């Protein structure tokens, strides 16, 4: 776990002045079916895109609130890191994208009978969104509608 002193002065000042938000209580829904009967979708904030998709836009002030659909059969090794944050070392997630987008692990859970199925598509967002208003108002509800349409029972959030 990194400590504040591990960051550059620029990043320490940013973290100290950032207006952190608290959501209490955290909204959630009780699971009504056994995991072995549920459909899972991944929702990652790794900023991954497929090679044929547009990168997340690093010039958007406050962070790009858009998202990209990643097909379940996309080879994880083909995902492209477009995460804008300089506050962490990207090398590990680039070497093994399953660390931030664990699609291979999800397929293994299906094969072992631990979850019922993996959705045909998953969602990739940009992390490090410092102005989340557009994300909360526009992007997140649109993403939720996609997952509801796909009849997803469980969304595994993988924050980066």
Tens digits of per-residue pLDDT, 48-62? 999 999 999 989 999
Residue 50 has φ and ψ, to the nearest 5°, of: -75, 155
Q: Is position 2 within any domain? A: no
Q: Is position 139 within any domain? A: yes
In this prediction, residues 81-109 reach a mean pLDDT of 92
Q: Is position 13 within any domain? A: no
Whether this model's pTM surpasses 0.95 = no
Q: Alpha helix locations (H) across 9-139?
A: 9-17, 91-95, 103-111, 133-134
> Residue 137's pLDDT band (boundaries 50, 70, 90)?
very high
Helices then strands, each counted (H, E), the chain: 5, 7
Q: Is position 11 within any domain? A: no
Split into its structural domains, the chain has a count of 1
Q: Is position 20 within any domain? A: no
66 pLDDT higher than 90: yes
Q: Is position 10 within any domain? A: no
Q: Is position 18 within any domain? A: no
Q: What is the pLDDT of residue 141?
A: 96
142 pLDDT higher than 90: yes
- Domain membership of residue 69 as a residue range: 34-158
1 pLDDT higher than 70: no
* Lookup result for tokens 């950032």: 18
Q: Is position 138 within any domain? A: yes
């Amino acid at each position: 776990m990194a400590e504040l002193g591990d960051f550059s002065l620029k990043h320490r000042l940013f973290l100290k002045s950032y207006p952190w938000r608290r959501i209490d209580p955290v909204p959630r829904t009780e699971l009504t079916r056994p995991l072995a009967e549920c459909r899972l979708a991944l929702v990652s904030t790794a900023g991954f895109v497929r090679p044929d998709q547009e990168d997340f836009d690093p010039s958007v002030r406050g962070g790009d609130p858009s998202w990209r659909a990643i097909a379940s059969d996309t080879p994880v090794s083909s995902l492209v890191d477009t995460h804008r944050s300089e506050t962490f070392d990207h090398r590990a997630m680039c070497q093994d994208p399953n660390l931030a987008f664990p699609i291979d692990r999800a397929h293994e859970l299906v094969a072992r009978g631990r979850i019922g199925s993996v959705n045909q598509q998953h969602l990739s967002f940009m992390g490090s969104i410092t102005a989340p208003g557009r994300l909360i108002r526009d992007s997140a509800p649109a993403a939720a509608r996609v997952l509801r349409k796909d009849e997803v029972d469980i969304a595994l959030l993988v924050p980066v």
